[in-house]
Amino acid sequence: MSLGDVEYFKVHGIIPDVLSEKHTDFQLIEVEYPHGVHVEGGNVLQPEKVKDQPHVTYPVEPDSFYTVILTDPDARTSLSEEKSEWKHWLVVNIPGADVHKGEALAEYFGPAPPPGTGLHRYVFLVAKQPGKLTFEGEPRLSKADLKRSHFKADAFLSHYHLKLIGANFFQAEYDD
């Protein structure tokens, strides 16, 4: 996969399942999990290998703030329900590339696709904020809080006027 290859994201349905056509000007970001596990544009990873918060590398501008999102567009709240994005991680007001200094609206929750649901796509998005923002009304979710369904990353980007600068994704399925 080449950097900025939006067509690859279209082939895998990330555009339009996660992103609309208005959010297609981005480059591939680097995502590395502990123990040297890398996200490489749709590679298949075992849930056990991606259970801990990764390190995300993206280009930054001085004195700028960023948002990092990890979403699963293939999640369901039950096997009979239609697919719904599930918010695995959402950090806002990140000064530069220091994710740990950002404000976690949803603490990292590692992928755990249920049995019988096949491969799930896990999509990382990085967006530049227009400045430091107030996210009043947005829930603050701990790792234990499972009220993460029905998230819409594209709508979140648009609502807060965030400019998508980077993305990457991997796939995983149930693994006992």
Specify the length of the chain in residues. 176
d(CA 147, CA 19): 22
Determine the average pLDDT of the residues in 78-102.
89
Q: Is the pLDDT of residue 3 over 60?
A: no
- pLDDT score, position 81: 66
**Residue 162 scores a pLDDT above 50:** yes
Examine the pLDDT at 2 and tell me if it is beyond 90: no
Percent of the chain scoring above 90 in pLDDT: 82
Q: Which tokens go with 43?
A: 């590679």
CA distances from 22 to 111, 119, 137, 150, 157 (A): 27, 26, 25, 21, 10
H or E element in which residue 159 lies = helix 153-159
pLDDT tens profile 29-43: 999 999 899 999 999
Q: What is the DSSP letter of 149?
A: B
What is the rounded distance in angstroms from the CA atom of residue 21 to the CA atom of residue 81?
Answer: 26
Q: Are 105 and 138 in contact (CB under 8 A)?
A: yes
Q: What is the pLDDT of residues 92-108, one digit of tens each?
A: 999 999 999 999 999 99
Distance separating alpha carbons of residues 58 and 97, to the nearest angstrom: 7
Measure the CA dihedral 51/52/53/57, to 10°: -90
Give yes or no for a contact between 134 and 173, defined as CB atoms under 8 angstroms apart. no
Helix (H) or strand (E) run with residue 95 in it: strand 86-95
Mean pLDDT calculated for residue range 85-93? 97
CA dist 50 and 44 (Å) reads: 11
Model confidence at 80: pLDDT above 90: no
Distance (Å, whole) CA 103 – CA 95: 10
C-alpha 11, offset from chain centre: 18
